Amino acid sequence: MRLRVEGGISLNGVYHPSGNANTAAYLIAASLLTDSPVTLRNVPNTTSTTVMKNIASNLGAEVRQPDDRILTIQTPQLSRRKLTLEETSETRALLFLAPLLVRRSFARLEIDFPLNRIRTHLEALRDLGFDVVISDGAVEVREAKWDYKDIILTQTSVTATGIVMMLAACFGKETVIHNAASEPHLQQLAHLLELMGAQVQNVGSNMLRIFGKSPLHGADLTIDADHIEAASIAAISALTGGRVEIRHITPSHLRMIGKIYQRLGILLDIDAQSVYISKHSQLTVSNREEDVDSSIETAPWPGFPSDLVAIATIIATQARGTSLIHEKLFSNRLLFVDKLKSMGAQIVLCDPHRAIVVGPTPLYSIYMDSPDVRSGLGMLGAALIAKGETVIDNAQVLNSNFDGVIAKLKGLGAKISEEVE
């Protein structure tokens, strides 16, 4: 899909972020832990959600959609015990390992990626007592049960944490997980497991204590709004000089983001259910005594999320002062910098993890390919503040995690035309 984006138009109005696609993925997988019906509400219509629904159906789940944003999933039995090569190409499909082990006592994962990608997952399974056998192109796991386990994850892996949480809720009487990830979608997974009968203590922290229950029963849960979408739209609105109210947010999900935005000159007015963006004029980075005026560092939750590093960089191009963007978690998340430089931004890419941004600089329209879903919304934001018409190819990547974001931006006044290639 190709987008033509006219820049320089202020965005104004009310915006409704969709449900979190990451949360939907985890809750769809967890729904297969029981043979009772599980109802999920505010489910986003994204390609990643569709992939998870299809895998659930292929495994034997009855997936019904009585409403555009409601899913009811019931799994009387799982029809097979393996995830195919095609299915495991989607990272989040690994979450189905848990229901396979719970319902069928055995799981086979066909893989064509390096094992170090799931090393934390495999170590955690072995620490819990599962029998893990690695053969050519596959991983086979057999069930284990325990009265008490105390494990530590070697990395703060979101997917590994989710798998262990689900297994602990079904197999263990008591399980303590140290160095657990605590992102919002894992907090909602914990809430679903509690509704299904397990007990999860210290939700939102890096040490979880889970008291399992077998069998789990059905539940009904509404998915929270996507904080990444909300934070991205807040920044883009401020950069266009508009006034926007973003509704139905979870305030705690925006606390750290609001602090980092404030360093770059954007103020978020957050109440119990909405965030308000008033008209911003010249942004100025906060004054500090180091070599740069502001340092923005990504970190595991509740730190500043890596998924917003592109948005933070774009804000820095429009803020008076010098900012250091430090992507501490991943080595390939700053590839979008070359596109911003082509648009006129003054950025020095120090290494794969750090970039120095000097602002403010006007941005000008270019032709670009949307890099990926994480930076794609940020680059769309850059196009909305650039002078002239920017053409963005490969824009369908936005549909992977964001439901109807282009139409909703148009509702705020953005001039975006779509062309299907």
Q: What percent of the chain has pLDDT over 90?
A: 92
Question: How confident is the model at residue 292, as a pLDDT?
Answer: 64
Contact 25, 54 (CB under 8 A): no
Q: What is the dihedral of CA 81, 137, 111, 73, to 10 degrees?
A: 0
pLDDT digits (tens, 9 = 90+) for 379-396: 999 999 999 999 999 999
- Residues, the chain: 421
Domains parsed from the chain with CATH numbers: 2-18+225-419 (3.65.10.10), 21-222 (3.65.10.10)
Structure tokens at 358: 């000097």
Beta bridge partners, 417, equal 4
E strands, 129-240, in order: 131-135, 138-142, 146-152, 172-178, 199-201, 207-211, 219-222
Is the Cβ–Cβ distance between 56 and 31 less than 8 Å?
A: yes
Tell if the pTM clears 0.75, that is, is over it.
yes
The per-residue pLDDT for 291 is: 52
Give the pLDDT confidence of 227-257 residue by residue, as tens digits. Answer: 999 999 999 999 999 999 999 999 999 999 9
Contact status, residue 322 vs residue 293, Cβ threshold 8 Å: yes
Question: What is the distance, to the nearest Å, from the Cα of residue 281 to the centroid of all Cα atoms in its chain?
Answer: 30
